[in-house]
Amino acid sequence: MMIFIGADYTDLGLSPEELQNRMGKWFSWNDKMEKAGILRGGNALTPAIRRVVGANRTVTDLTSAEVKEIVGGYYIVETTDFDAVQKIAEDFPDYDLGGTVEIREIMVFDR
Amino acid sequence: MESKLIDHLFRYHSGKMVSVLTRIFGLAHLEIIEDAVQDTFIKASISWRTKQPDNPEAWLTQAAKNRVLDIFRKLNTEKKHLPNIAYGSNAIAINELFLDTEIEDAQLRMIFTACHPKLDPRDRISFALKTVSGFSIKEISSALLTKEDSIKKRLTRARKAIQKSQLKFQIPQGELLPQRLESVMEVLYLIFNEGFHSNKEETLIRKELCGEAMRLCKILLKNKHTRTPEAYALFALMCFHSARIEAKTNAKNELLDLKNQDRSQWHFPLIKLGHTMMEKAVDTPTFSCYHYEAAIAAEHLYARRFEDTNWDKILHWYECINAIQPMPTHLLTMAVVCLQNKDAKKSKTYLDQIKPDDFAQRAYLYYGTLSDYHAATNNFHEAIKHIDNAINVVNNKFEKSYLKKKKSKLISTKN
């Protein structure tokens, strides 16, 4: 599973043209994974986050103000190992906006 | 989805949507509208990542319509003035405003608003690029070689002028139209020139400027009230110039002059389109500057080699321009043309009518031409004197080194 953390497009003031270019990069990344037959799903997430923290169950209502903490979406891919996903993640379009990709393995339990 | 199919989709849709929404809500709500359109694109760019729509244009239009209702609610809660649309027939009225012909009409209104005489002439281009063409502040600033802060100020000033003068969002009619149309064409001409006459960085954006100017000019040609011979001539002029745009620079993005351009790179379909436009443009008893400029641009295209250029004809067209719009630069250009035509005597008659002060910071052009004249009459002492004058007053380092090269050539010819 690749989790995308970073810039929220709403805050960046991108022009229509820039947004479209960026979208084009996402398209081609998506297509690449589909062609490789490894894509198993994914979703975009809205910037609103609600966090419940600690013994007091403090609720924090983070929105796009804390740009660094936004989880923008995720893709689930099926590959042989971590390295293969890492290679795929090199094409993530938003590094130049300060974005991060976290790769986590989904644990499969033996029956 | 083929990414080529949606080439510039967002940029073009941005202008359309801002224009239509402004028609619904009025110019007073321009900022809300621009934000709303931006939101729509963000939404599209995220939701299309995994599921691309079959018809992106329809998707965006639908999203824009939905935003209309959002804005209604927003304005209602903020208790601002509600748009002048009766509630019961809202849906029908809104749908009709999104018809193709109505969208074009709205865009034309926006162009006329952006070029309104109540707006500071310096602010018009920025404002048009923002609202009609969907450029970001960053893109406008690199396209016009101006600081982002200044662009922001210009946009704010334009919006304030609109509010203060309570401009109407409409295409002027009757006697007002020709005058207002003139200011629109001037802005389109300037946008095109910004794109055409530069080899600075961000070349892509600069070509975009030329494309935008042409797109906007085409909108003028689609409306029967704004489809004038001058507008056709302006479009022809843009076609002729654009046909040469790829040949203007080499692979290293260095500027090539007419003499050194690879003429096989000229774009034939644009030349042809230019001619078709020109045929429509000349259906009038009086010609405008755009007519003559187009004629000059066409004359250059007729020549298969630089040596074949018909300088007599070009000189004639410049005389025509100078007759209706006298300017020192025209006289200077005519002097240059005469030198190309090996007619130094005639060149001098033009040079005698102008002085360096006429050109302010670009006085080096005057001195450079004067130097060329003296070189052509074998008066190398004077030629070197004037090229020195030119070197002294020029600011741009590329042009300075060009002039210095010229000087050393003069010295070696003299000896």
Count of domains observed in chain B: 2
**Residue keyed to tokens 């690879």:** B262
CB proximity A20 to B under 8 Å: yes
Q: In this predicted structure, which of A8-12, B133-137, B320-324 has the lowest mean pLDDT?
A: A8-12
How far apart are alpha carbons B335 and B376 in whole angstroms?
12
Last residue of a domain, one of B98, B133, B167: B98
pLDDT average, residue stretch B278-291: 95
What pLDDT, on a 0 to 100 scale, did the predictor assign at position B224? 92
Contact A49, A64 (CB under 8 A): no
Confidence class for position A64, pLDDT limits 50, 70, 90:
low
Q: Burial level of A80, CB count in 10 A (0-12/13-18/19+)?
A: exposed
What is the per-residue pLDDT for B80?
Answer: 61
The structure tokens 């060009």 sit at B402
Cα-based angle B209, B214, B216 (whole degrees, multiple of 5): 95
Q: Give the C-alpha separation, B398 to B403, whole Å.
A: 9
Count of CB atoms within 10 A of residue B91's CB? 12
Nearest CA of chain B to the CA of A59: how many Å?
Answer: 27
Q: Residue A59: beta bridge partners? A: A52
> Two tokens at B175?
């006697």
Domain that holds residue B411: 310-415
**Position of tokens 């894509």?**
A39
Residue A60 to residues A55, A66, B96, B218: CA-CA distances in angstroms?
14, 12, 45, 53
Q: How far lies B104's CA from each of A22, B14, B61, in Å?
A: 28, 13, 14
Tell me how long chain B is.
Answer: 415
Task: Kindly state the average pLDDT of the residues B118-147.
Answer: 88
CA distance B210 to B191: 7
Helix or strand run (H / E) with residue B156: helix B148-165
* pLDDT (0 to 100) of residue B32: 85
Residue B339 domain-assigned?
A: yes
Mean pLDDT of B89-105: 77
pLDDT in the model for residue B199:
55
Taking the C-alpha atoms of residue B179 and residue B160, their distance in angstroms, rounded to an integer, is 23
Chain B residues with CB inside 8 Å of A92's CB? none
- Which residues have CB under 8 Å from B219's CB, separation 6+? B104, B107, B108, B111
Residues on chain B touching A10 (C-beta within 8 angstroms): 39, 42
Residue B5's contacts (CB-CB under 8 Å, 6 or more residues apart) are none
CATH number of the domain that residue B53 is part of: 1.10.1740
B388 located within any domain: yes
Q: Do A16 and B11 touch (CB under 8 A)?
A: yes
Tell me, yes or no, whether B267 lies in a domain: no
- The answer to whether residue B135 sits within a structural domain is no
Angle made by CA atoms B74, B75, B80, in degrees to the nearest 5 = 150
Say if residue B120's pLDDT is above 50.
yes
Task: Assess whether pLDDT exceeds 50 at residue B86.
Answer: no
Cα gap B288→B359, rounded to integer Å: 24
Q: Specify whether the CB–CB gap between A70 and A5 falls below 8 A.
A: yes
Per-residue confidence (pLDDT) for residue B57, from 0 to 100:
85
Q: What dihedral angle (degrees, nearest 10) is formed by the CA atoms of A46, A48, A52, A53?
A: 100
Are the C-beta atoms of B37 and B21 separated by less than 8 Å? yes
Of B41, B49, B138, the CB nearest to A44: B49
Q: Which of A2, A17, A33, A94 to mutate to test the interface with B (most CBs of B within 10 A)?
A: A17
Q: How many Å apart are CA B247 and CA A72, to the nearest integer?
A: 44
The beta-carbon neighbor of B46 closest among A9, A13, A24 is A9
Supply B117's token pair.
């005489």
d(CA B7, CA B246): 20
The 10s digit of each residue's pLDDT in B20-54 is: 989 888 888 888 888 888 888 888 888 888 778 88
Is the pLDDT at A54 greater than 50? The verdict is yes
Tell which wins on pLDDT, B368 or B11: B368
**pLDDT, greater one: B3 or B401:** B401
Name every chain A residue with its beta carbon within 8 A of the beta carbon of B208: 17
Query: pTM of the full predicted structure?
Result: 0.80
Q: Answer yes or no: is B399 within a domain.
A: yes
Q: What is the CATH number of the domain that holds B324?
A: 1.25.40.10
Closest residue, chain B, to A9 (C-alpha): B42
Could you tell me which residues of chain B have a Cβ less than 8 Å from any Cβ in chain A? 1, 3, 6, 8-11, 13-14, 37-39, 41-42, 44-50, 52, 134-139, 208
For the cut 90, the answer to whether the pLDDT of residue B414 exceeds it is no
The pLDDT assigned to B198 comes to 63
Domain endpoint, select from B98, B124, B139: B98
In a domain, B109, yes or no: no
Query: Exposed, middle or buried, B383 (CB in 10 Å: 0-12/13-18/19+)?
Result: buried
Task: Please report which confidence band the pLDDT of residue B255 belongs to, taking 50, 70 and 90 as the band edges.
Answer: low
Question: What is the Cα–Cα distance from B65 to B43, expressed in whole angstroms?
Answer: 14
User: In the predicted model, what is the mean pLDDT of chain B?
Assistant: 87
Residue B279: per-residue pLDDT: 96
CA B337 to chain centre: 25
Of B203, B205, B213, give the one whose Cα is nearest residue B239: B213
User: For residue B245, which of B302, B310, B201, B195 has the smallest C-alpha distance?
Assistant: B195
> Given this model, what pLDDT does residue B35 score?
86
Residues of A in contact with B215 (CB under 8 A): none
Contact state of B49 with A24 under an 8 Å Cβ cutoff:
no
Please report the pLDDT score of residue B229 as a whole number: 97
pLDDT at B12: 84
Question: Pick from B98, B121, B139: which residue ends a domain?
Answer: B98
CB contact under 8 A, B42 and A23: no
Whole-number percent of chain B with pLDDT over 90:
51
Determine the distance in angstroms separating the CA of B47 from the nearest CA of chain A, rounded to an integer. Answer: 7
| Residue B223: pLDDT band with limits 50, 70, 90 | very high
CA distance A69 to A62: 8
Q: Is residue B67 part of a domain?
A: yes
Confidence of residue B4 (pLDDT cuts 50, 70, 90): very low
Per-residue pLDDT at B252 exceeds 50 = yes
**In 3-state terms, what secondary structure has residue B143?**
helix
- Decide if B351 is inside a domain: yes
Q: Return the HEC string of A43-80.
A: EECCCCCCEEECCCCEEECCCCCCHHHCEEEEEEECCC
Report chain A residues whose CB lies below 8 A from the CB of B10. Answer: 16-17, 19-20
Q: Which residue has the higher pLDDT, B130 or A16?
A: B130
Q: What is the mean pLDDT of residues A71-75?
A: 85
- ipTM score here? 0.73
- Beta carbons of B49 and A15 less than 8 Å apart: no
Average pLDDT over residues A67-92: 87
